[in-house]
Each structure stands twice: as structure tokens, then as C-alpha cells.
């Protein structure tokens, strides 16, 4: 097919690290274009090799500044980086304050850094699924490390965090932020807990609280025990910046642990399982809503529900009944 050939040429360019082609392919994801599936099919076999690091924490916790430092350190080690900013308040997303934005844009002249925001527009296929695809595209560019920045609130975000192999949860002293994080279930998914702004009052109490909550958690033999790392990502004097090397080491140590234990296999399995589920849902809904659309049935169904003559559960049963093959009838695939 002609289409397949054009997409193949696009994917070849992507594999050679072409940034503009990455942007074009990501636009296909955003638009849920027909070509997206063909492109993802061809991209898929070239993915799964990058280290995927999730950085999560509430707005204002300093995630973007930490990522800025991480980019510099990893670049010094010769590693290529991709950043996917899912947090709409992130400077990487074009939001936040001018100063931040300018500082982060300094990476834009470095070919070894590819930054992409997921906040610029709606995603027809859902944010989580689109984020999956965007990460795969960046992996196919041959990046060594892909950093995913999320806000750490809401189910979608938790789903996104599950994509990450190493999950860094960022919290700050004061305002009971570490308690909020505990409550939101963020600690359970943390491989590394960063207490940023560790120069603020109450930092020591916070670290003690975090370590106390870890000490009452039971870990199995050989299981990874989350590290607590205090950091200062912003300071008026550069020498007051703290904890960045420790964070880099922590991430690399955790990656090493994943490779030595068989935990990486499990994380990769779960990632594919999640992707399969999301694609399933979307494709099915598309097919069935398309079937409804032409006939004006959907509107009729909704109206009958609003008039109290029907309910959505019965409607779904009815439509499914006419579209799905029963197990008895099912073709042998």
C-alpha cells in the first residue's frame, strides 16, 4: 500500500533521530489520524530499550527544576534524553513563569534533548493512551532515558506513572505536603522519594516522617526499598544546590536493580497490558459509535434516556447484542 510506504519513510527518519519527524508523528497521535495506527505498528518493534523515569509531585514542588538538573547531569554522562511533560502547569508545557521557561529552553539547542508537552491540546484517544504513544515515538528516536513529568493527582495521572520504570515522587516541607502524598497513594508507587526545598524550615521533620512511614512498611527479601533524598534544586548561590548527584545515583541504582532482579520484565509486561487495554477500549468505542452515528440512533437513545423511557445500561446491552458475535457463533481466529 502507498500509505504504508510513506509512513515507512517517516518512521525510518524517526529512527535516525529526526526531531521534526518525531513532532509530525506525535501530531498524528494528537489527531488520532488513520495513519497513526500504521505508524505505531512500525515504530513499536524499535521501542522498549529506554529507561523510563517518572517524576511526579504537586504543582510548585519544583519537579521541572529537578528535571532541568537531571538533564544536565545525564547529558554530561553522554546520555540522550527525552522529556514528556504531562503536567499542564509545567514550564516544559509552556506554562509557569518566564524565568523558568527561558532556563529550560536552553536545552532546545541541544540535539540530545527532546522535550514534548502533552498539555497543549485535548487528546481524542485519552491522555494516557496518547502519552503511551508519544513515549514510544521518543524511544524510537533512540533516546537512552525518557523522563515523564506528571502532577500526581487523578486516576489518569496514576495510570501514566505506571508507565515509568523508576518512579520519583517529589514533595516539599511544610503544608503537610508529605502527608497529602501519603494519602494520595503516591508513596506506594515511589521508588525514590525526593524532599525538594530541603533548605526550608521543617525539612528535617519531613525526612523523619517519610523515613518513619517507610520503616513501618514491610519489604520482601531482595525487594527495592525506596530511598529518601533531600534536594535543593533552586538557590541564589550555585554552591547551595544540593542532592542532585544523589538523585542521579538513586535513579541509576534503581535501574540496575530492575535489570538484576526480574522486576523490569514485570514492569514492561504491565506497560504492554495497559496499552492493550486502552487501545481495545478506544477501537471498540470508535467502531460502535461510528455504527450509531450515521443512523442518528445515538441521539435517539440519549433522548429516550432523558425522557426516562430507557437507561444507559439497557441501551449498551441492546447495542452490544447486535454487534457482538456470541461465543457459539464466533469465528475461529
Q: Find the shortest distance in angstroms from Cβ 330 to its own copies.
A: 6
CA geometry: angle 41, 43, 47, nearest 5 deg: 120
Distance CA 232, CA 310 (A): 58
Residue from 225, 276, 293, 300 touching its own copies (CB under 8 A): that is: 276
3 binds its own copies (CB under 8 A): no
Contacts (CB under 8 A) with its own copies, residues 156-185? 156-157, 175-176, 180, 183-185
Per DSSP bridges, beta strands 113-117 and 145-150 are unpaired
Q: Find the shortest distance in angstroms from Cβ 294 to its own copies.
A: 10
Residue from 153, 248, 252, 267 touching its own copies (CB under 8 A): that is: 153
35 binds its own copies (CB under 8 A): no
Distance CA 1, CA 65 (A): 46
Q: Find the shortest distance in angstroms from Cβ 264 to its own copies.
A: 11
37 binds its own copies (CB under 8 A): yes
Site for its own copies (CB under 8 A): how many residues?
Answer: 71
Q: What is the four-CA torsion angle of 208, 211, 216, 218, rounded to 10 degrees? A: -170
- Enter the C-alpha cell of residue 258: 530492575
Residues in the chain, overall count: 333
Distance CA 44, CA 320 (A): 31
Which span (25-33, 120-128, 162-170, 243-251) binds its own copies, by CB under 8 A? 120-128
Site string for its own copies, 83-112 (x = CB under 8 A): -----xx-----x-x---------------
Q: Toward its own copies, which CB reaches closer, 44 or 75?
A: 44
Query: Terminal CA-to-CA distance of the chain, rounded, Å?
Result: 24
Amino acid at each position: 500500500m502507498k500509505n504504508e510506504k510513506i509512513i515507512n519513510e517517516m518512521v525510518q527518519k524517526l529512527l535516525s533521530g529526526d526531531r521534526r519527524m518525531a513532532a509530525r508523528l506525535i501530531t498524528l497521535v494528537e489527531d488520532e489520524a488513520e495513519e497513526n495506527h500504521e505508524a505505531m505498528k512500525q515504530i513499536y518493534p524499535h521501542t522498549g530499550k529506554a529507561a523510563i523515569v517518572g517524576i511526579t509531585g504537586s504543582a510548585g514542588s519544583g519537579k521541572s527544576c529537578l528535571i532541568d538538573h537531571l538533564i544536565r547531569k545525564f547529558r554530561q554522562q553522554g546520555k540522550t534524553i527525552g522529556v514528556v511533560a504531562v503536567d499542564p502547569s509545567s514550564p516544559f508545557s509552556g506554562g509557569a513563569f518566564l524565568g523558568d521557561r527561558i532556563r529550560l529552553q536552553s536545552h532546545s539547542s541541544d540535539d540530545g534533548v527532546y522535550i514534548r508537552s502533552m498539555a497543549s491540546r485535548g487528546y481524542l484517544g485519552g491522555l494516557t493512551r496518547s502519552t503511551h504513544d508519544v513515549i514510544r515515538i521518543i524511544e524510537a528516536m533512540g533516546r537512552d532515558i525518557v523522563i515523564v513529568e506528571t502532577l500526581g493527582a487523578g486516576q489518569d495521572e496514576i495510570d501514566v506513572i505506571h508507565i515509568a520504570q523508576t518512579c520519583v515522587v517529589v514533595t516539599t516541607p511544610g503544608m503537610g505536603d508529605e502527608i497529602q502524598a501519603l494519602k494520595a497513594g503516591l508513596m506506594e508507587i515511589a521508588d525514590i522519594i525526593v524532599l525538594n526545598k530541603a533548605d526550608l524550615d521543617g525539612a528535617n521533620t519531613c525526612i523523619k516522617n517519610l523515613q518513619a512511614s517507610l520503616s513501618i512498611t514491610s519489604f520482601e527479601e531482595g525487594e527495592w526499598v525506596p530511598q529518601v533524598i533531600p534536594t535543593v534544586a533552586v538557590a541564589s548561590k550555585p554552591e547551595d544546590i544540593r542532592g542532585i548527584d544523589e538523585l542521579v545515583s538513586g535513579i541509576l541504582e534503581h535501574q540496575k536493580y530492575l535489570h538484576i532482579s526480574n522486576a523490569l520484565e514485570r514492569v514492561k509486561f504491565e506497560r504492554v497490558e495497559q496499552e492493550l487495554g486502552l487501545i481495545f477500549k478506544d477501537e471498540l468505542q470508535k467502531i460502535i459509535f461510528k455504527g450509531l452515528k450515521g443512523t442518528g440512533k445515538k441521539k435517539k437513545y440519549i433522548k429516550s434516556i432523558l425522557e426516562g423511557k430507557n437507561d444507559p445500561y439497557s441501551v449498551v446491552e441492546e447495542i452490544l447484542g447486535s454487534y457482538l458475535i456470541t461465543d457459539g457463533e464466533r469465528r475461529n481466529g
